[in-house]
Structure 1
Amino acid sequence: MIRNIIFCFFLIYAEFCFADSIPNIQVENFSFYVDSGNLKLNGILCIPSSSQISEKKVVIMQTPPYPSDADYHGMYSELAEVFAHSGIASLRFENRAKNLNISGEEVTMYNQADDLHDAFLSLKRDRRFATYKIGLLGHSEGGSAVAIESSKNNDIAFAIILSSCGIKGTDFIYYQSTLRIDYLKLHSIQDKWIRKEIWDKIRIIERYNSPTIIQSKLKEHDAMLYNDSVFRIKAYGNMTLHQVYKQTLDKWANPHFIAVTKYDPKVYYSKISCPIILLYGKMDEWMDWKDNADGIEKIFIDIKKRNYEILRLDSINHSYCKCDVYTPFFTSISHMKSKNIEYSTSIWRKIINWIATLQ
């Protein structure tokens, strides 16, 4: 009996002593409709207790187009917790590729931007968030979606973009497509042919707007190369022309790839009026962090934008994990497949500190 009384007293004492160190965070499901009401996306709201909220802010987080649940491999669930501990609410949600059980090739950054807009409107209709400042956060191609929505919606209070495209899509695609050749320092005649073939296909996508015409021109290009017996043997081996067509169209003519290739960040970043912070890891295995960071900065300098910050982070890769040795994506395990991801939480603190400076 005495032991039970002592134990109960200890529980009450612990609750009293540690109440302030264990935040009261409310987590709830939050669904909203996109695509003109034809599709419902399921999300998760994370709301700190009223005692923790110094200034009412909520962050909507967007993933890249490839299928992902609301947690986005743990990155967004971890961010949501960090935000909540700092008095900031957040909304993260499954993307439409995940919801529809389709590949990311069928979803574009413009679809993603539309989904962000619908999420924004849904939060504004919720009376709890009527007076909140709503910001957006996106990683990788999700960052492009944030830029697109922020450029059109003057009610966005702030934008947070992690490792996103800052150069023209044509250059971005060429870099990713030739990274293996550059990294391995390959200079054979075959490698030069491959470079030229890549540029030729990029130019076709850049020149034409109709997907049907793009497909037709890509097939014409493949047929021309296939008829060159020397190139055919070196590049295609025993593949039939039909197999070559399918390989090309699957990669180069899907809506997602076309949208990325045609993307011009200047069109959108030059119209963003809200405060914005961009982060790039110097060990990024998927993109040239310097060219992309410098590309965005040049846009802002040209338009004399002042309310921005660009952080170039040492020893951080595309996934925002600590990384001391650069390893390109084709030689490393993607964060999309890793089950034991340890994000660099010090980076999240930099974001929190920046948000705290906003008026």
Structure 2
Amino acid sequence: MKTIISIILILILSIVSAFSQEISGDWSGKAKRGDKEITFVFNIKQEGTNYSSIMNVPTFRISGIKPAATTFTNVKLIIDGSNLGMSYVAEFNNELQQFEGTYKEGGIEMTLNLKKGAVEIVDQRRPQEPVKPYPYYEEEVMFQNKEANISLAGTLTLPNKEGTFPVVILISGSGPQDRDETFMGHKPFLVLADHLTKQGIGVLRFDDRGQGESTGYFGSATTEDFSKDVLSAIAYLKTRKEVDKKNIGLISHSEGGIIAPLAANNSKDVAFMVLLASTGISGTELSVMQSKTLREFPVKDEEAYEKNTRKAIAIVTSNKSESEIKAELTAHYNDFLRPILSGLNVPEKNINTFITSQVNTSIKPWSRYFLQYNPADEIEKLQIPVLSLNGSKDTQVNAQINQNGIREALIKGGNKDYKILELENLNHFFQECETGKMDEYRKIEQTFSPIALKEVSSWVLEHIN
């Protein structure tokens, strides 16, 4: 018996040992959400006894996402993306040679099995994306945020290798973004940078902290932290001889529009600012609005729903400890959301996952800071030229309400040089659209309306000293 056990033990150890050598590399698979297939690729690396992974979602053209931790023990793989709001837990099926598990993100759960090897994805047509070689100079760059002790990686494009040029910094919207602001199969910042550089305007765009080639941890950062990353980008541009130091500008999209004013008010080197689909109301009011317009389920009593949403925000922004907030918020969501979702026949397991995800997202530093922050307070202080563009069919950031907030703040602060323009039939990403709803972004071939591109470049060129 001892001999048999020893042989079995040796066999088990050899299998585990052989497999541990093979876990490094690409693992890919498809998950289904409704009738849509989503392809995932995880590149796993073994570093001594530890592992790390990079997540790519080719379906959405998302790449370089770095989960917080990856562990592989007793054939169980755990990819902890708490910094990204996702997780993947799976066990290895030795017979089929694949990981079998569950991918979770927000309140969504999907079965996802991974096999060794990457997959080839046929991209949808995106005719506006530039094709190399570009008719301008491009350089991969790296700069430091010394205060946060992180390195930020980006791309600098200049009209020519030689000369001095005005340069703008592109600031991405909410969530972990790469330098191209890749989203729903589009690369809006790549298209915008290409257009501006061809018009004689240099562009610096960079991966958010913890994304792509940038270091740091995205999940613990606030809007204020991101503004300091922008200040680091400004400091870097000032070291470049090709940059006209008197004409450094900021172009921001969505949440970037609340980061940009904060950065500009802490720098003497920002000459002008462009706000794209930016907000002009407090994070609380925007969140209440989006909770009603973007939610995926109906409610019988809108007034009660808003009242309970505001109560949840009050809990999140209280001065209580994190554990107290978490407990109180969980109890509130159980009283408030659970009956609504149960009434829609949502499985109990899914409700529990949704509530847990909502609580964990709400107590993050970014959420608590954002809900208490009003960009109008910083916009009011701006004494530099400002261009604000919003799409009339933006369902994420209402053009009229938010531009009224931006306008009132600029007037109150006595800003003498600003332009606020609502562009017809454009959505949150400045695509020409039918409905403006989020599920339409991917279906649209256009990445960035030429009308919006021209508005931005013409205004910037008019404001170069």
TM-score for both structures, normalised by structure 1 = 0.79
- Give unpaired runs (5+ residues) of structure 1: 1-21
Distance 1:216 1:352, change over 3 A: same
**Counterpart Cα distance in 2 of 1:129 and 1:327:** 37
Distance 1:136 1:163, change over 3 A: same
CA distance 1:139–1:232, shift in 2 (3 Å): closer
Q: Which residue of 2 aligns with 1:27?
A: 138
- Count of matched residue positions in the alignment of Structure 1 and Structure 2: 326
Cα 1:209/1:173, change in 2 over 3 Å: farther
CA distance in 2, matches of 1:137, 1:166: 16
Say if 1:170 and 1:206, in contact at 8 Å, map to a contact too.
no
Match of 2:394 among 280, 284, 309: 284
* Distance apart, 1:341 and its partner CA: 4.2
In the TM superposition, residue 110 of structure 1 has moved relative to its aligned partner by 1.8
Q: CA deviation at 1:75?
A: 1.4
Aligned partner of 1:295 among 400, 405, 412: 405
Q: Which amino acid is 2:176 matched to?
A: P
- Separation of aligned partners in 1, 2:205 and 2:373: 25
Which residue of 425, 440, 452 maps to 1:315? 425
| Cα distance in 1 between the residues matched to 2:226 and 2:349 | 36
Q: State the match for 2:238 in structure 1.
A: 124
- Assess if the C-alpha contact under 8 Å between 2:154 and 2:205 holds in 1: yes
Q: Check if 1:149 corresponds to 2:263.
A: yes
The alignment partner of 1:125 has SS state of coil
Counterpart of 2:363 in structure 1 is 253
Asked if structure 2 preserves the Cα contact closer than 8 Å seen for 1:23 and 1:49, the reply is: no
Contact 1:154 1:274 in 2 (8 A): no
Identity value in percent: 22
SS at match of 1:251: helix
SS of residue paired to 1:326: coil
Distance verdict in 2 for CA 1:87–1:209, change over 3 Å = farther
Give yes or no for the alignment of 1:95 onto 2:208: yes
Residue pair 1:64, 1:141 contacting (<8 A) in 2 also:
yes
- Secondary structure at the aligned position of 1:96 is classed as coil
Distance 1:92 1:145, change over 3 A: same
Deviations 1:97-140 (A, max 9, x none): 41469996544322221110001101112233264511011111
Question: Contact 1:86–1:352 at 8 Å: present in 2 too?
Answer: yes
Q: Which residue of structure 1 lines up, in the alignment, with residue 452 of structure 2?
A: 347
User: Any idea what SS the aligned residue of 1:127 has?
Assistant: coil
1:200 paired with 2:305, answer: no
Can you list the C-alpha shifts for 1:268-310, whole angstroms capped at 9, x where unaligned? 1111121111110001021211100111101112222211111
1:68 to 1:245, Cα distance in 2 relative to 1, 3 A: closer
Q: Deviations over 1:55-99 (max 9, x none)?
A: 831001111242222122321121222112211111111111414
RMSD: 3.3
User: What is the deviation of 1:207?
Assistant: 3.7
Provide the C-alpha distance between the structure 1 equivalents of 2:267 and 2:356, rounded to a whole number of angstroms: 39
Change (3 A) 1:131 1:286: closer
Task: Give the counterpart letter for 2:223 in structure 1.
Answer: M
Residue 176 in structure 1 maps to residue 290 in structure 2 = yes
Cα distance, 1:169 vs structure 2: 1.0
Paired position in structure 2 for 1:38: 149
Partner of 1:9: none
Aligned partners of 1:356 and 1:240: how far apart in 2? 52
User: Which region of structure 1 is more displaced relative to structure 2, 63-72 or 312-321?
Assistant: 63-72
CA shift at 1:50, angstroms? Answer: 7.3
**Contact between 1:66 and 1:105, CA under 8 Å: does it hold in 2?**
no
Q: Which residue of 141, 160, 171 maps to 2:274? A: 160
Using a 3 Å threshold, how does the CA distance of structure 1 residues 141 and 209 change in structure 2: closer, same or farther?
Answer: farther
1:104 to 1:314, Cα distance in 2 relative to 1, 3 A: farther
C-alpha contact 2:275 2:389 (8 A) present in aligned 1: yes
Change (3 A) 1:292 1:195: same
Q: Take 1:131 and 1:231, find their aligned partners in 2: how far apart are those partners?
A: 55
Higher normalized strand content (fraction of residues): 2
Match of 1:188 in 2: 300
Higher relative contact order (CA 8 A, sep 6+): 1
Gaps of 5+ in 2: 1-132
Q: Indicate yes or no: 2:126 matched with 1:56.
A: no
Distance, in Å, in 2 between the alignment partners of 1:136 and 1:209 is: 36
User: Using the alignment, how far apart are the partners of 1:343 and 1:229 within structure 2?
Assistant: 40
Structure 1 SS opposite 2:238: helix
Q: Which has the larger share of helix?
A: 1
* Counterpart check, 1:238 vs 2:360: no
1:329-348 mapped onto 2 (5 Å cutoff): 329=438, 332-333=439-440, 335=441, 340-348=445-453
